[in-house]
């Protein structure tokens, strides 16, 4: 794609502000104070999209509520990766028929990855006629224009054209108050893993200009955010579309030069593009957290080939071993799929053996879920769910034992953590994260929230550490 075809012109972004002003003026004329409910499903990229939606809504004059009954506008910002999330969305859409009956002027919007799928938008058009606005990730930048069309025409609006994707700078953002922030450095995906719908709904890879990324991170650090996560479907391929030699490791190096007391994390990271240069950079940069989330998905080479992952078990292990050698305290996490179509028990146990060999601190584990429109959904899948569940349980048994042991090794140590909020533990009322992103529940003064603190670890379990502020 040519950059001129990818980047939305500043004049087009400015034009959206004309629509925000028209919406604001409409409500002012009615002497109304509109409220919006933005309900986001899925990954951190969706969370970042939700923050931009809220930024545009704020400019339109909306306040925010979590109660759909109080909302003049309800937005379901959706994920298409898992079947369970899709079912939840359709359930929530159905329930909104009741709020629409109580408030016929309420506008209901479906957006995000699910909305970009043709089968979903068609289903909504035919069976969920109370939904007023449907648009995919490609159209997010022109949300004010689409919303104005709904108000102005009193007709349903659908913007789900199949596009390669865009980059739009200058969209206002409402970030969650606190110490954590998300920064999208690129959009889209070129990998086409056979089980994944994301490339079909988020388009091709597009990298943001490095100066725009650096400016955003600098603003966040100056505003007091201390835990900043760089986002992309595959951050390791950042810069490959910019026509030069500047890559993700170079971006990390430049961000590290920004003065302040903060940590930089990143996700998602694809093994096929992870390099020794990246791990060397992580080890050298003082602001880059010594934490790596590197999804391996399967420990069997045949299954990896069927998944179109484009690396082998051996290549993955070489990367992990190099990263560990460069960063002895590295915290490792990963994603795993059990029960891919055609996978045998022996192949599933290859995944378990890789988990045993690496010793991950934590895993995000899934039993394969078919997504319509992907190549894997067309493959024969003769193994019953009950059998896959046995393999999955074995994986959890191995990983949970390692997580518990890894956490127990922290007991008695003093760690520097970022206190990020309140916990649900009455005995340890504060919540914090280590540099390696391990959850810590701790005793201490609420004044610590938003600050780095030294904490002595006193106890642990499979999922968290407990401690006391020193």
Confidence at residue 65, expressed as pLDDT on a 0 to 100 scale = 97
Say if residue 356 is exposed, middle or buried (CB neighbours under 10 Å; 0-12, 13-18, 19+): middle
Shared-domain flag, residues 263 and 149:
no
Q: For 135-169, give one letter per residue: b (16+ CB within 10 A) or e.
A: bbbbbbbbbbbbbbbbbeeeeebbbbeeeebbbbe
Shared-domain flag, residues 232 and 378:
yes
Looking at residue 115, what DSSP letter applies?
Answer: H
Looking at the structure of the chain, the number of domains it has is 3
Shared-domain flag, residues 144 and 258:
no
Q: For 322-343, give one letter per residue: b (16+ CB within 10 A) or e.
A: ebbebbeebbbbbebbbbbbeb
Shared-domain flag, residues 255 and 348:
yes
User: Which of 356, 372, 397 represents a domain boundary (last residue)?
Assistant: 397
User: Would strands 157-159 and 107-112 be described as parallel, antiparallel, or unpaired?
Assistant: unpaired
Under DSSP, is residue 266 helix (H, G, I), strand (E, B) or coil? strand
User: Which of 94, 127, 159 represents a domain boundary (last residue)?
Assistant: 159
Shared-domain flag, residues 387 and 420:
no
Residues 249, 253, 258, 261, CA torsion sign: positive
The answer to whether position 409 is within a domain reads no
The answer to whether position 169 is within a domain reads no
Instruction: Give CA separation, 441 vs 14, 26, 144, 434, 436, in Å.
Output: 45, 47, 41, 11, 15
The answer to whether position 60 is within a domain reads yes
The answer to whether position 198 is within a domain reads yes
Give the count of beta carbons closer than 10 Å to the beta carbon of residue 447: 8
Confidence at residue 6, expressed as pLDDT on a 0 to 100 scale = 86
Confidence at residue 1, expressed as pLDDT on a 0 to 100 scale = 65
Shared-domain flag, residues 336 and 191:
yes
The answer to whether position 210 is within a domain reads yes
The answer to whether position 461 is within a domain reads yes
Residue 383, token pair as written in the block: 């193994």
Instruction: Give CA separation, 203 vs 113, 171, 213, 430, in Å.
Output: 10, 19, 20, 40
Residue 96, token pair as written in the block: 């909104």
Give the count of beta carbons closer than 10 Å to the beta carbon of residue 362: 22
- One digit per residue, pLDDT tens: the chain, 470 residues? 677 788 999 999 999 999 999 999 999 999 999 999 999 998 889 999 999 999 999 999 999 999 999 999 999 999 988 787 889 999 999 999 999 999 999 999 999 999 999 999 999 999 999 999 999 999 999 999 999 999 999 999 999 998 888 899 999 999 987 799 999 999 999 999 999 999 999 999 999 999 999 999 999 999 999 999 999 999 999 999 998 899 999 999 999 999 999 999 999 899 999 999 999 999 999 999 999 999 999 999 999 999 999 999 999 999 999 999 999 999 999 999 999 999 999 999 999 999 999 999 999 999 999 999 999 999 999 999 999 999 999 999 999 999 999 999 999 999 999 999 999 889 999 999 999 999 999 999 999 999 999 999 999 999 999 999 98
Q: How many residues does the chain have?
A: 470
What is the rounded distance in angstroms from the CA atom of residue 453 to the CA atom of residue 434? 10
Shared-domain flag, residues 348 and 228:
yes
Shared-domain flag, residues 254 and 367:
yes
What is the rounded distance in angstroms from the CA atom of residue 102 to the CA atom of residue 401? 51
- The angle, 0 to 180 degrees and rounded to 10, between the axes of the packed helices 345-358 and 313-326 is 10
Shared-domain flag, residues 252 and 152:
no
Shared-domain flag, residues 267 and 364:
yes
The answer to whether position 404 is within a domain reads no
Contacts of 325 (CB under 8 A, 6+ apart): none
Domain at 448, CATH number: 2.40.50.140
Shared-domain flag, residues 126 and 18:
yes
- Which range of residues forms the domain containing residue 439? 414-469
The answer to whether position 170 is within a domain reads no
Confidence at residue 62, expressed as pLDDT on a 0 to 100 scale = 98
Q: To which H or E segment does residue 307 belong?
A: helix 301-307
Bridge partners (DSSP) of residue 335 are: 364
Domain at 28, CATH number: 3.40.50.280
Domain at 278, CATH number: 3.80.30.20
Shared-domain flag, residues 259 and 129:
no
């Amino acid at each position: 794609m040519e950059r001129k075809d990818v980047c939305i012109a500043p004049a087009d972004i400015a034009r959206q502000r004309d629509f925000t002003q028209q919406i604001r003026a409409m409500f002012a004329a009615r002497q109304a104070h509109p409220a919006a409910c933005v309900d986001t499903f899925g990954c951190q990229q969706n969370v970042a999209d939700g923050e931009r939606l809220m930024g545009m809504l704020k400019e339109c004059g909306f306040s925010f509520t979590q109660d759909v009954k109080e909302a003049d506008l309800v937005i379901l910002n959706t994920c298409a990766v898992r079947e369970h999330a899709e079912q939840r969305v359709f359930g929530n859409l159905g329930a909104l028929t009741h709020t629409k009956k109580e408030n016929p002027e309420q506008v209901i919007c479906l957006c995000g990855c699910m909305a970009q799928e043709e089968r979903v938008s068609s289903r909504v058009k035919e069976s969920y006629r109370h939904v007023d606005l449907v648009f995919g990730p490609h159209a997010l930048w022109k949300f004010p224009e689409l919303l104005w069309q709904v108000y102005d025409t009193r007709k349903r609006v659908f913007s789900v054209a199949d596009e390669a994707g865009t980059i739009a700078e200058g969209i206002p953002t409402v970030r969650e108050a606190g110490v954590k922030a998300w920064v999208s450095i690129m959009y889209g995906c070129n990998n086409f893993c056979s089980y994944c719908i994301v490339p079909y709904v988020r388009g091709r890879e597009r990298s943001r200009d490095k100066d725009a990324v650096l400016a955003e991170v600098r603003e966040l650090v100056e505003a007091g955010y201390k835990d900043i996560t760089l986002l992309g479907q595959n951050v390791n391929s950042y810069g490959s579309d910019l026509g030069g030699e500047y890559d993700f490791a170079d971006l990390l190096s430049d961000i590290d030069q920004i003065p302040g007391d903060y940590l930089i994390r990143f996700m998602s990271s694809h093994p096929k593009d992870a390099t020794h240069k990246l791990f060397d950079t992580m080890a050298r940069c003082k602001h880059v957290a010594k934490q790596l989330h590197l999804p391996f998905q399967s420990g069997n080479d045949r299954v990896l080939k069927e998944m179109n992952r484009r690396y082998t078990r051996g290549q993955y292990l070489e990367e992990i071993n190099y990263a560990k050698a460069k960063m002895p305290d590295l915290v490792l996490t990963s994603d795993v799929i059990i029960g891919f179509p055609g996978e045998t028990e022996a192949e599933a146990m290859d995944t378990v053996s890789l988990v045993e060999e690496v010793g991950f601190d934590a895993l995000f584990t899934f039993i394969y879920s078919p997504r319509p429109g992907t190549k894997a959904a067309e493959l024969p899948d003769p193994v019953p769910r009950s059998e896959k569940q046995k393999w999955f349980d074995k994986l959890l048994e191995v990983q949970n034992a390692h997580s518990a042991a890894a956490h127990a090794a922290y007991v008695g140590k003093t760690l520097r953590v970022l206190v990020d909020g309140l916990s649900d533990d009455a005995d340890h009322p504060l919540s914090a994260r280590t540099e390696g992103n391990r959850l810590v529940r701790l005793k201490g003064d609420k004044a610590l929230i938003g600050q780095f603190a030294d904490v002595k670890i006193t106890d642990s379990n499979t999922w968290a550490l407990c401690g006391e502020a020193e």
